[in-house]
Chain A
Amino acid sequence: MSLTRLLALILKELLAVMRDPKGRIVLIAPPVMQLLIFSTAATLEVRNVDVMVLDQDHGHWSEELTARIAGAPTVKRVLPADSPDMLRRAIEERSVIAGVWIGSDFTRRVTAGRPATVQVILDGRRSNASQILASYLGEIATRLSLETPLGTQITGQLITVEPRNWFNANLADKWFMVPNLIASIALLVGLIVTALSIARERELGTFDQLMVSPLRVHEILIGKVVPPMIIGLGHITLFILAALLIFHVPLRGSLGLLYGSAVFYLAAVVGIGLFISALSMTQQQAILGAFLFLVPAMLLSGFATPVENIPSWLQPLCDINPLRYFLVVVRGVFLKDIGVDEVIRQTIPIALIAAVALTAAAWLFRRRME
Chain B
Amino acid sequence: MSEPADLVVLEGVTKVFGDAPPALKDVSGTVRGGEITGLVGPDGAGKTTLIRLMTGLMEPTGGTLTVLGHDTRTDAAAIQSAIGYMPQRFGLYEDLTVGENMTLYADLRGLPQAEREAVFDELLTFTDLKRFTARRAGHLSGGMKQKLGLACALLRKPRLLLLDEPGVGVDPISRRDLWAMVEDLTREGIGVLWATAYLEEAEACDRVLLLNEGEALFAGPPAEMTGRVQGRVYRVEGIGARRTALAHLVDEAGVRDGVIQGEAIRLLLAEGAERPPLPDGARIEATRPRFEDAFVDRLGGGPGGHSAIAAAQDAFPDDDAAMIEADGLTKRFGDFTAAADISFKVPRGEIFGLLGPNGAGKSTTFKMLCGLLRPTSGTGRVAGIDLSRQAAQARGRLGYMAQKFSLYGDLSIQQNLDFFAGVYGLSGRRKRTRTGLMREIFDFDRHAGQPAKELPLGLKQRLALAAALMHEPEVLFLDEPTSGVDPITRREFWMHINALVEKGVTVLVTTHFMDEAEYCDRISLIYRGRSIALGSPDELKRRVASPDQPDPTMEDAFVALVKEADAEREEEAA
Contacts and interface: CB of A to CB of B under 8 A. Distances in A.
A215 B392 contact: yes
A85 interface: no
Contacts of B410: 15-16, 19-20, 23
A144 interface: no
Contacts of B420: 213
B477 A212 contact: yes
Contacts of A215: 392, 423
Interface in B405-424: 405-411, 415, 418-424
A211 B408 contact: no
Contacts of B371: 211-212
Interface string A46-78: 000000000000000000000000000000000
Interface stretch (B57-65, B163-171, B394-402): B394-402
Contact of A8 (B395, B409, B422): B422
A204 B423 contact: no
B374 interface: yes
Given A19-B411, A19-B451, A206-B407, A9 B423 contact: yes
Contacts of A12: 408, 411, 415, 419, 422
A213 B423 contact: yes
Interface residues of B, number: 35
Nearest to A213: B423
B169 to A, nearest CB: 15
A15 B373 CA distance: 29
Interface residues of A, number: 26
A22 to B, nearest CB: 9
Interface string A88-115: 0000000000000000000000000000
Interface string B372-409: 11100000000000000000110110101010111111
B426 interface: yes
B465 interface: no
B407 A209 contact: yes
A2 B411 CA distance: 23
A204 B396 CA distance: 23
Contacts of B367: 208
A19 B427 CA distance: 24
A204 B422 contact: no
Contacts, number: 85
A7 B422 contact: yes
Contacts of B418: 8, 11
A336 interface: no
Contact of B395 (A9, A19, A20, A214): A214
A174 interface: no
Among A8, A210, A211: residue with most chain B CB under 10 A: A8
A214 B411 contact: no
Nearest to B407: A206
Contacts of A11: 418-419, 422
Given A11-B419, A20-B410, A216 B392 contact: yes
Interface in A1-36: 2, 4-5, 7-9, 11-12, 15-16, 19-20, 23
Nearest to B370: A212
A205 B402 contact: yes
A20 to B, nearest CB: 4
Nearest to B397: A214
A93 B257 CA distance: 85
Given A2-B425, A16-B411, A213-B400, 19 more contacts: A4-B425, A4-B426, A5-B423, A8-B419, A8-B421, A12-B415, A19-B410, A204-B409, A205-B405, A206-B406, A206-B408, A208-B400, A209-B402, A212-B370, A212-B398, A214-B395, A214-B396, A214-B424, A214-B425
Interface of A: 2, 4-5, 7-9, 11-12, 15-16, 19-20, 23, 204-206, 208-216, 370
Closest CB pairs A-B (n = 9): A8-B422, A214-B396, A205-B406, A19-B410, A212-B400, A20-B410, A12-B419, A205-B404, A4-B427
15 contacts: A5-B422, A5-B424, A11-B422, A12-B411, A12-B415, A15-B410, A16-B410, A208-B367, A208-B400, A211-B372, A212-B371, A212-B398, A213-B423, A214-B425, A215-B392
Interface of B: 367, 370-374, 392-393, 395-396, 398, 400, 402, 404-411, 415, 418-427, 451, 467, 477
